[in-house]
Structure 1
């Protein structure tokens, strides 16, 4: 069995069988990551009578997201790696591309009154941080993992739902290609900890 974690913004946790089909999947937009993640993992493993050390791998959504949330998920993933359990990780904006979408735009809140935009097509990828009150740019199919925001009138496709509904091709791709993405914060640490000008 395989564990899935995403603490990058909200809290998602799940358990997959050997064919990458969900045995259990939870997505919480209200829970505090640090208070609940260990209990969530424990309860899921207990429910399916699985010992943590018997997991075949861990899949981690490693951003983009909050510094604290990503650090928490990455820290848990590293504990599994120390126990010789493989960890595969990806970025939320890669989900649609893994599923074969050749062109799109992924957007989310980036804190500090900014919005993160990620664009991709067959030829290139690019990303930018822009002021939230200036966000109006939709140039292609729109994806996000945050249903509310200045983009909600564009009816974006939720990548959390894509992941929930298509686990086998996503996790199969990550495992077969041994993908282990580094943590992705919205901005470098020197800017992350700089005070916002009000």
Structure 2
């Protein structure tokens, strides 16, 4: 029997779950436009552990969303995960953010394209088959009317980019699942358990999130 704490902070959704043998038993999450991860994350962690009826010492591993996504959100999640793993002497598992998002599509045909907003018409995206095997690796790309035109099978789009991409991606085989907007720690449970069983873990000291693009600090505006 294994208990894994899953942490997902790559987007506006601050999400934490406890899974027992790959099945989510409790999840607490809040999608906040103001990115309240710094205030909410540790509270959520304490709450899900208590609701699961266990203590932190009962955890066998901590899984964290590795990106791509928000620079600040990823840093907050990874820092918390590392701190817990170090204090409890348990392994750290890194989970691909876009794989988590794709797994929430719940489809059995076609291909799944998870997309996260990277501002303007740029997105972080990947392409998965319906069994969640990788069809195309993660990349940052500009979306226009020519995007994904080479695919003739049904494409299911998930993520927070529907509003800006639907007017451009209009082929009949393009389907936007607008109810799947953000990755959730609830969907991490099976993925993290599979990795745990394979001892697919990362180094607590040296692991860094996958930002995909360098973090840029804008210069201050002139007065």
What range describes the TM-score normalised by the shorter chain of this pair?
A: 0.7 to 0.9
SS of 2:93 mapped into structure 1: strand
- Inter-partner Cα distance in structure 1 for 2:189 and 2:49: 19
- Give, in whole Å, the separation in 1 of the partners of 2:36 and 2:75: 14
More helix by share: 1
Greater than 4 Å deviation, 4+ residue runs: 99-103, 120-124, 159-163
Counterpart pick for 1:149 among 140, 143, 163:
163
Equivalences for 1:20-35 in 2 at 5 Å?
20-30=22-32, 32-35=36-39
User: Larger relative CO (CA 8 A, sep 6+): 1 or 2?
Assistant: 2
Query: Does residue 7 of structure 2 align to residue 2 of structure 1?
Result: no
Displacement of 1:174 after TM fit? Answer: 1.7
Equivalent residue runs for 1:35-184 within 5 Å = 35-83=39-87, 84-95=89-100, 96=102, 103-111=111-119, 114-120=122-128, 125-131=136-142, 134=144, 137-138=147-148, 139=151, 141-146=155-160, 148-151=162-165, 154-156=175-177, 158=180, 164=186, 167-168=189-190, 170-180=191-201, 182-184=208-210
Is the 1:105–1:143 Cα contact (8 Å) retained in structure 2?
yes
Are the aligned partners of 1:107 and 1:116 in contact in 2 as well (CA < 8 Å)? yes
Alignment gaps of 5+ in structure 2:
168-174, 203-207
User: Matched residue pairs, number?
Assistant: 189
TM-score normalized by the length of structure 2 = 0.68
1:141 Cα offset (Å): 2.5
- Compute the TM-score of the two structures, normalised by the length of structure 1: 0.75
Work out whether residues 88 and 174 of structure 1, in 8 Å CA contact, stay in contact via their aligned partners in 2. yes
- Secondary structure of residue in 1 paired with 2:211: coil
Residues 146 and 14 of structure 1: CA distance in aligned 2, closer, same or farther (over 3 Å):
same
Q: Is the 8 A contact 1:21 1:167 kept in 2?
A: yes
Corresponding position of 1:11: 14
RMSD over aligned Cα atoms: 3.4
* Offset, 1:65: 0.6
Larger mean CA deviation between 114-123 and 69-78 belongs to 114-123
